[in-house]
Amino acid sequence: MNPALEGQVALVTGGSSGIGYGVAQALANAGASVAINYHSHGEAAEALAASIEKAGGQAVAIQADVSDEADIDAMFDTLIKRFGTVDIVVANSGLQKDAKFVEMTLADWNAVMNVNLTGQFLTAQRAVREFLRRGPRPVSRALGKIICMSSVHEVIPWAGHVNYASSKGGIQMMMKSLAQEVAPHRIRVNSIAPGAIRTPINKAAWDNPEALKTLLELVPYGRIGESEDIGRAAVWLASDDSDYVVGTTLFVDGGMTLYPGFADNG
Ligand code: BGC
């Protein structure tokens, strides 16, 4: 049996740590050649690329600031030179700059919007241009696949994180509007909305037993998520197994969006 993504090329932005790292590894395990974008953690991205190659896969690490259009163009140029084209683009880069609303600086607002929302816009736009340029390939039923990394906070309001939640709410509507626009070209755009996943971005919420206990009150399924949980969802959304899935957000959150506060209340 061929791996699900044999012969396909994937790009994962923000692939040097956390969810992006797990997704890049999972796509490589499923047979895709992978470009691992990073902003500042070059060693981690290079190490992941090296370990994928050692295991018999193909991978390259590419530096780019996803909020910079020239960097995005240069990244796609490098990727296309190396692998010929791209079939799967995971717009994953994201960050948090948390603050109480009255104390949130414009710089913190802009930094989060620029990376989380504008970064996905630029990444997806360049991806669509490439899919249209190169036309169909026998490796996939779709012309191309875009996966936007959203969050449960595209629907769950989050005090103290107004910039972050706004960026994820924006991703929800960007993804759906884009999906509607490009579906006639057989380009599939979908999102994954992770809940609490054990990564550096939310370390304070899981790195001691008390914090973890409080966090798990928000997760009916009773465990924290791992990057591999998101990796498996990404492989499915990138593969022909989900060929009829268009413009959907797949929540991978252990039930965090089920309003667990109502389980014994209301
Ligand atoms: C955030 C994490 C948070 C999780 C659940 C994610 O989008 O980046 O910090 O733990 O949502 O609230």
Give the residue among 219, 139, 177 at the shortest CA–CA distance from 211. Answer: 219
Q: At what angle do helices 227-238 and 18-29 cross, to 10 degrees?
A: 50
Q: How confident is the model at residue 48 (pLDDT cuts 50, 70, 90)?
A: very high
What is the C-alpha separation between 163 and 104, in angstroms, rounded? 9
Name the burial class of residue 45, with classes exposed (0-12), middle (13-18) and buried (19+) by CB atoms within 10 angstroms of its CB: buried
The reported pLDDT for the residue numbered 224 is 98
Tell me, what DSSP letter sits at residue 174? H
Nearest CA to ligand 1 atom 2: 202
List helix spans (H) across the chain. 18-29, 42-54, 69-83, 106-112, 119-134, 162-182, 209-216, 227-238
Domain ranges of the chain: 3-254
Backbone angles phi, psi at 114, to 5 degrees: -60, -45
The reported pLDDT for the residue numbered 1 is 55
Q: Which atom of ligand 1 is nearest to the CA of 156?
A: 12
Query: Using a 6 Å cutoff on CB, does residue 212 contact ligand 1?
Result: no
Query: Using a 6 Å cutoff on CB, does residue 195 contact ligand 1?
Result: yes
What is the C-alpha separation between 235 and 3, in angstroms, rounded? 10
Distance 2 CA to ligand 1 centre (A): 35
β-strands 33-38, 249-252 pairing: unpaired
With a cut of 90, say whether residue 38 has pLDDT above it: yes
Distance 25 CA to ligand 1 centre (A): 21
With a cut of 60, say whether residue 31 has pLDDT above it: yes
Nearest CA to ligand 1 atom 5: 196
| Cβ atoms < 10 Å from Cβ of 42 | 13
Average pLDDT, integer, range 185-203: 98
What is the C-alpha separation between 23 and 1, in angstroms, rounded? 22
Pocket test for ligand 1, best of 96, 97, 117, 153 (most atoms within 8 A of CB): 153
Distance 129 CA to ligand 1 centre (A): 31
Tens digit of each residue's pLDDT (9 = 90 or more) over 55-81: 999 999 999 999 999 999 999 999 999
CATH superfamily membership of 3-254: NAD(P)-binding Rossmann-like Domain (3.40.50.720)
Query: Using a 6 Å cutoff on CB, does residue 19 contact ligand 1?
Result: no
The reported pLDDT for the residue numbered 262 is 95
Tens digit of each residue's pLDDT (9 = 90 or more) over 157-175: 999 999 999 999 999 999 9
Set 164, 221, 244, 259: catalytic member: 164
Mean pLDDT, rounded, of the chain: 98
- Is 259 one of the catalytic residues? no
Average pLDDT, integer, range 78-89: 98
pTM beyond 0.85, yes or no? yes
Concatenate the DSSP letters of all residues of 32-93 into one string: -EEEEEESS-HHHHHHHHHHHHHTT--EEEEE--TT-HHHHHHHHHHHHHHHS--SEEEE--
Query: Using a 6 Å cutoff on CB, does residue 196 contact ligand 1?
Result: yes
Tens digit of each residue's pLDDT (9 = 90 or more) over 110-130: 999 999 999 999 999 999 999
With a cut of 60, say whether residue 232 has pLDDT above it: yes
Q: In what order do the strands lie in the sheet with 144-149?
A: 59-63, 33-38, 9-12, 88-91, 144-149, 187-194, 249-252
What is the C-alpha separation between 212 and 207, in angstroms, rounded? 7
Average pLDDT, integer, range 91-120: 98
Query: Using a 6 Å cutoff on CB, does residue 202 contact ligand 1?
Result: yes
